[in-house]
Structure 1
Amino acid sequence: MPPHPRGAVNVARRGLIILSLINLFNYVDRYIIAAISESLRHSALHISDLQYGLLGSGFIVVYMATAPVFGALGDTRSRPRLIALGVTIWSVATALGGLAWSFASLLAARTMVGVGEAAYGTISPSLLADYFRKEFRGRVFGVFFLAIPVGFGLGLAIGGLMDAHFGWRSAFFVAGIPGLVLAALALKLHDPPRGIQDDVTPSARAPRARQGVAAAYRALLRNRPYVLTVLGYAAYTFALGGMALYIVKFLERVRGVSEGQASVGFAAIVIATGLIGIALGGWLSDRLLKVTKQSYLWVSGIATLIAAPLALVGVTVATPAVYWTAIVLAQLLLFASTGPVNSAIVNVVAPEIRATAVAVSIFTIHILGDVPSPTLIGAISDATSLTKAVLIIPVALLVSGAVWTYAAKKGIEA
């Protein structure tokens, strides 16, 4: 049953807190491997740069391949149960990574993490959209996606510290435990009627819900604002996927920063810029919604366009004061795009197909984004140098910002 009106706010806030905590440990798990990359290279597994890139790409391939399945289930089945299932799978798979005896076994464990995260990642935005009305979603998704910088930063810090004191295997064991507790909490989440916060009546929801997955895919392909937003997101994800996996390696190998300083230092930057950037981007895009319906795309597009040249400075200038400053400013602007672009995706599609829309978005941004980017950067690095390989990152950011700004300027309505 739906919650009593007096308790609806508390139900929504509780849901936001639990889903945000799950998202936090999702990113701790996903990026803890970045902190132990050099240790894996020198371990008995002898992970090369190309194999390291494949670990990231392999996870994403499975993640995107299973996302449409969970997206379809998320539009028709119990969302809390599906989320709990996903969290349990990726928590167990993470811990299994610590038992790896070869590259193949580590790759298998990391790909299973993708199955679990696909369940959670596709369904959570749909659930949050049914907890909060449209005018609050920029800030709501801002809170939800604060998990990215904090989780990424904690992943680097925890991974680096565990690696330094107990070895790289311990990092996987520690990262997998919290998810099992959060899976139990997810089972108790309220699952409101789809579209309840969008003034869509049950009689209007039912016919569209029965049309099936094929009809939902056709509707998404005809939705030009959705298509442009997702294509821009793919270029953005290409850049961030490469940056997330290689920035610590770049700082250590090319800039000569010590292992502990690189992982913990960059973790601090990610957390600080993420907290400020995501909060600012969510607040600003919600405020500008009164001025333009394209506020989410304007904020994302302009911020990313400015971030592109800063990222270029960050990977080409050897002076520490300059490249650290450029990295900080670029990260701040990139995080400002996170909440708005995800708000744009859920707002531009019908409530009944939101989980499917998020699933298609996940599939697209990964198959065009961070599936190829880690492997491509690793291959270029092995063939030439890491210094040349990372130059592809600012180019992808420029493309992303241009697409989002174009979509906002055209002001296309669904």
Structure 2
Amino acid sequence: MNSDPAAPVAILPARRERTMLITLAAVQFTNIMDFMIMMPLGAQLMEVFAINPTQFSRLVAAYGLAAATSGFAGGFVLDRFDRKRALMVMYAAFAVATLACALAPTYLTLLLARVAAGACGGLVGSILTAMVGDVIPPERRGRAMSVVMSSFPLASIFGVPVGIMLATAFEWHAPFMLLAASSAIIWPVAARVLPAVPSHKSAQSPLAQMRVILFHPIHRRGLALGAMLVFAGASIVPFMAPSMVLNVGVSETQLPLIYLAGGVCTFFSMPFLGRMTDRFDKWHVLLVTTIPAALSVFILTHLPAVPLPIALAVAALFFVGMSGRFPPTMAMITNAVEDRYRGGFMSVISAVQQAAAGVASITAGLLVSTSANGRLVGYPRAGYVSLTAFVITVWLGWRLRQIAPFAARNPATNHVAAATPPSAGPAANAVDDPTR
């Protein structure tokens, strides 16, 4: 097959398309909130369950590790199911797992509930991203991605402050209760408004399909690009809050303002960047958005004690620059993958990105430490690692664009022949492809 793999299943009316995207953003919002809500609960959970910081870190890591594992496993089978049906099942399971977190009576049961929530949440994120690629035409896919990804800044705005307020007023159970209730409200809405997207059944066995997902040159470059995209930010974010408190002089009570400022600015910048992604070559948009992102990382990781307004401005620049790289990059990756592999591929890339985030956090942890006077040292080194990852991300994007030019260019002006997408034949793995 030599057709463009980015062709949509069906064209929805404009109003229904907007409703679908807002609904998917709501689903993703609860998914992201479930992860972020853990950050402000550390002190309470350590006191209630009599656990140490290492044991608490396992509660945080359990979600990501489970999401990565389920994402890789989903790559074998997700394309064999109707997207909407799969999303509804996994989202229902996610809501139940979140409720189990709220009701957990012991540390072990909470840990197991976090594993279940991560496993379901990882698949939910993969399926809804694949659904955007299946339903939205390529010329509007950048804006569609920006709508769905608006869940990230919204989670930044509400995640930490709401978690702190609810945990303070009603103890640590309350944030999980709210998320479970929100998911229960969103589920029937999603069941009503989301379109059915038929499965992309293949004559290939799951193992053969996974081999194509992992080893076709287009897929390999997409996976590497997606991993480095996340690595660049994840090597900075874990120590952003401690740096603001210990080095910059922001008080813990002012810390939610950092996330609020960044989240608000990102919420307004994402739609603009989505439009730019659809209007211009996606790699060019990635290149341009990388410049403020790199500048913000350098400033943030070298920031001394400054007044709060300056700290808020730097945080806002960081959030806008870092998140601005996602719409063009993920739209380009999604466009490059053929329909019948998209669900499995997005599941695998979700797993790869979770793993990349974990490696980045570990790398940053090896570079950053606390001095005798209580200041955070080594954060600039983590910044240089992030800047290096920015450069590699742009290079990997260029590499993907070389082999799949149709994925990056505006479909309205794209007259360049598309690279051959993965086929079901023996050459599917393209191991000897000279373009790899």
| Distance change >3 Å, CA 242–CA 79, structure 1 → 2 | same
Which of these residues, 224, 241, 244, is aligned with residue 248 of structure 1?
A: 241
Which of these residues, 303, 312, 315, is aligned with residue 298 of structure 2?
A: 312
Tell me if the contact between 1:225 and 1:348 (Cα under 8 Å) persists in the aligned partners.
yes
How many equivalent pairs are there?
391
How much does 1:161 deviate? 1.2
Mean CA deviation greater in 86-95 or 355-364:
86-95
| Distance change >3 Å, CA 147–CA 56, structure 1 → 2 | same
Q: Percent identity?
A: 18
Which of these residues, 347, 354, 357, is aligned with residue 335 of structure 2?
A: 347
Matched, 1:17 2:10: no
Which string of whole-angstrom CA distances, capped at 9 and with x for unpartnered residues, describes residues 112-132 of structure 1? 111211221111122122221
Which of these residues, 208, 212, 237, is aligned with residue 219 of structure 1?
A: 212
Tell me if the contact between 1:25 and 1:179 (Cα under 8 Å) persists in the aligned partners.
yes
Give the partner amino acid of 1:362.
S
Partner Cα separation in structure 2 for residue 235 and residue 324 of structure 1:
27
Which string of whole-angstrom CA distances, capped at 9 and with x for unpartnered residues, describes residues 92-113 of structure 1? 2223333445543332222111
Give the partner amino acid of 1:227.
R
Which string of whole-angstrom CA distances, capped at 9 and with x for unpartnered residues, describes residues 142-184 of structure 1? 1010011102321112102112322333222222211122222
| Distance change >3 Å, CA 339–CA 111, structure 1 → 2 | same
How much does 1:343 deviate? 0.8
Give the partner amino acid of 2:359.
P
Which of these residues, 9, 31, 41, is aligned with residue 36 of structure 1?
A: 41
Which of these residues, 192, 210, 232, is aligned with residue 197 of structure 2?
A: 192
Tell me if the contact between 2:219 and 2:337 (Cα under 8 Å) persists in the aligned partners.
yes
Partner Cα separation in structure 2 for residue 296 and residue 222 of structure 1:
24
Matched, 1:372 2:377: no
Tell me if the contact between 1:91 and 1:176 (Cα under 8 Å) persists in the aligned partners.
yes
Partner Cα separation in structure 2 for residue 319 and residue 309 of structure 1:
18
Give the partner amino acid of 1:405.
V
Mean CA deviation greater in 82-91 or 219-228:
219-228
How much does 1:19 deviate? 1.0
Which of these residues, 43, 46, 49, is aligned with residue 45 of structure 1?
A: 49
Matched, 1:176 2:204: no
Partner Cα separation in structure 2 for residue 12 and residue 26 of structure 1:
21
How much does 1:266 deviate? 2.2
Alignment of 1:290-301 (within 5 A): 295-301=281-287
Aligned residue for 1:115, secondary structure, equals helix
| Distance change >3 Å, CA 270–CA 327, structure 1 → 2 | closer
Partner Cα separation in structure 2 for residue 180 and residue 97 of structure 1:
15
Q: What's 1:228 paired with?
A: 221
Matched, 1:86 2:86: no
Q: What's 1:407 paired with?
A: 396
How much does 1:225 deviate? 4.5
Partner Cα separation in structure 2 for residue 242 and residue 214 of structure 1:
33
Q: What's 2:312 paired with?
A: 324
Provide TM-score, normalisation by structure 1.
Answer: 0.83
| Distance change >3 Å, CA 364–CA 396, structure 1 → 2 | farther
How much does 1:260 deviate? 3.1
Provide TM-score, normalisation by structure 2.
Answer: 0.79
Mean CA deviation greater in 225-234 or 326-335:
225-234
Partner Cα separation in structure 2 for residue 247 and residue 216 of structure 1:
40
Aligned residue for 1:98, secondary structure, equals helix
Aligned residue for 2:77, secondary structure, equals helix
| Distance change >3 Å, CA 243–CA 91, structure 1 → 2 | farther
Aligned residue for 2:37, secondary structure, equals helix
Give the partner amino acid of 1:74.
L
Which string of whole-angstrom CA distances, capped at 9 and with x for unpartnered residues, describes residues 286-342 of structure 1? 111xxxxxx323323442354234223213322334443322212111111121121
| Distance change >3 Å, CA 255–CA 52, structure 1 → 2 | farther
- Give unmatched runs, 5+ long, in structure 2: 1-7, 405-436
Q: What's 1:388 paired with?
A: 377
Q: What's 2:425 paired with?
A: none
Partner Cα separation in structure 1 for residue 385 and residue 203 of structure 2:
39
Normalized per residue, the structure richer in helix is: 1
Q: What's 1:200 paired with?
A: none
| Distance change >3 Å, CA 49–CA 389, structure 1 → 2 | farther
Which string of whole-angstrom CA distances, capped at 9 and with x for unpartnered residues, describes residues 209-231 of structure 1? 22233333333344444433432
How much does 1:388 deviate? 3.2
Which of these residues, 125, 133, 138, is aligned with residue 129 of structure 2?
A: 125
Give the partner amino acid of 1:286.
D
Partner Cα separation in structure 1 for residue 382 and residue 294 of structure 2:
8
How much does 1:134 deviate? 0.5
Q: What's 2:253 paired with?
A: 260
| Distance change >3 Å, CA 309–CA 182, structure 1 → 2 | same
Partner Cα separation in structure 2 for residue 386 and residue 254 of structure 1:
6
Tell me if the contact between 1:54 and 1:375 (Cα under 8 Å) persists in the aligned partners.
no
Tell me if the contact between 2:83 and 2:198 (Cα under 8 Å) persists in the aligned partners.
no
Alignment of 1:48-63 (within 5 A): 48-63=52-67
Partner Cα separation in structure 2 for residue 245 and residue 332 of structure 1:
17
Q: What's 1:287 paired with?
A: 279
